[in-house]
Amino acid sequence: MENVNDIIDNEGRSIPDHIAIILDGNGRWAQRRGLPRAMGHKQGCETLETIIGDCAKLGVKYLTVYGFSTENWKRSEEEVGALMKLFRFYMVKLVKVANEHNVRLRMIGEKSRFAPDIQEGITRLENETRDNTGMTFVFAVNYGSRDEIVRAIRKYTIEALKSGKSEEEIEALTEQEFAGYLDTAGMPDPDLVIRTSGEFRISNYLLWQSAYTEYYITPVLWPDFNKAELLKAIDDFNGRERRFGGRLKK
Ligand code: IPE
Ligand code: IPE
Ligand code: MG
């Protein structure tokens, strides 16, 4: 396997550097039990806590999880309200979980749409875990790839205008430089994206960053996802041959 970090677990698995997850199926999990959707989200938060710990112990370097999309505001006021309430509660809990596993926290997405206390909370949890040296847990909230790309273009253009960049200098913009304007600046691209609950779509997640990412889709609903399912995804990934546009080696 190439382009994978040097971490091999005690069962011989090569552990991807960067795993990204589209956690999906919370609503269906609750509905199947006759529970309100919010209960599915609550259970989903418990799963997330466990998976953060599992990934950190396995030696994953970056775990990026899609928690709330720029399109999720379309949901009922009741559901959005329940999600914000959970977010407030778990933000505090997340710091504890992160410190327990030496994990650094980072948020990606557009923060200004959140209530001021949530925005402050985000800054606090990034600061409070800054010195941890283990895995980085990246939480994508009010995140949408198209929004991220447009924000990056705005930022680049404003900087270019302010610094009086010439047309020639603008023409010289590289992919690498542009990636530095995205929310994920400085992070490696994901090696593996896992989507739970059986949906075969990207839903506006890491479009730029997942150009050569391997996808793994499981029918398991997020609240039922666990370490065994995570290892299945990693095993599947271990069987892939990544070519990055090059040729088959056999
Ligand atoms: C994922 O679960 C969590 C969020 C998108 C916030 P869903 O709420 O999308 O669950 P389903 O897809 O309706 O089952
Ligand atoms: C994607 O799930 C967003 C998150 C997991 C936060 P959705 O449930 O919103 O995606 P669609 O609507 O099924 O594509
Ligand atoms: Mg869904």
Mutate to test the pocket of ligand 2, among 51, 66, 194, 203 (most ligand atoms within 8 A of CB): 203
Ligand 2 pocket, residue 69 CB under 6 Å: yes
What residue spans define the domains of the chain?
Answer: 15-144+189-238
Which residue's alpha carbon is at the smallest distance from atom 1 of ligand 2? 203
**Which range, of 6-15, 156-165, 190-199, averages the lowest pLDDT?**
6-15
pLDDT for res 10: 87
- Distance from residue 192's CA to the centre of ligand 2 (Å): 18
- Sequence-distant (≥ 6) Cβ neighbours of residue 126 within 8 angstroms: 105, 106, 107
CB contact at 8 A, 223 and 29: yes
Q: Is 24 an annotated catalytic residue? A: yes
pTM for this prediction: 0.96
Ligand 2 pocket, residue 83 CB under 6 Å: no
Q: Are strands 192-195 and 18-22 parallel, antiparallel or unpaired?
A: parallel
Instruction: Please give the structure tokens belonging to residue 212.
Output: 């050569």
Tally Cβ neighbours within 10 Å of residue 130: 10
* Rg of the chain over all Cα atoms, to the nearest angstrom: 19
Strand order through the sheet with 62-69? 104-108, 136-143, 62-69, 18-22, 192-195, 214-217
Tally Cβ neighbours within 10 Å of residue 54: 17
Q: Under CATH, what is the fold of the domain 15-144+189-238? A: Undecaprenyl pyrophosphate synthetase (3.40.1180)
CB contact at 8 A, 53 and 84: no
Which protein residues are within 6 Å of ligand 1, measured from CB?
23-28, 68, 72, 83, 197
Residues 72-121: tens digit of each pLDDT = 999 999 999 999 999 999 999 999 999 999 999 999 999 999 999 999 99
Taking each helix axis as running N to C, give the angle between helix 77-100 and helix 116-128, from 0 to 180 degrees, rounded to the nearest 10: 20
Which residue's alpha carbon is at the smallest distance from atom 14 of ligand 1? 25
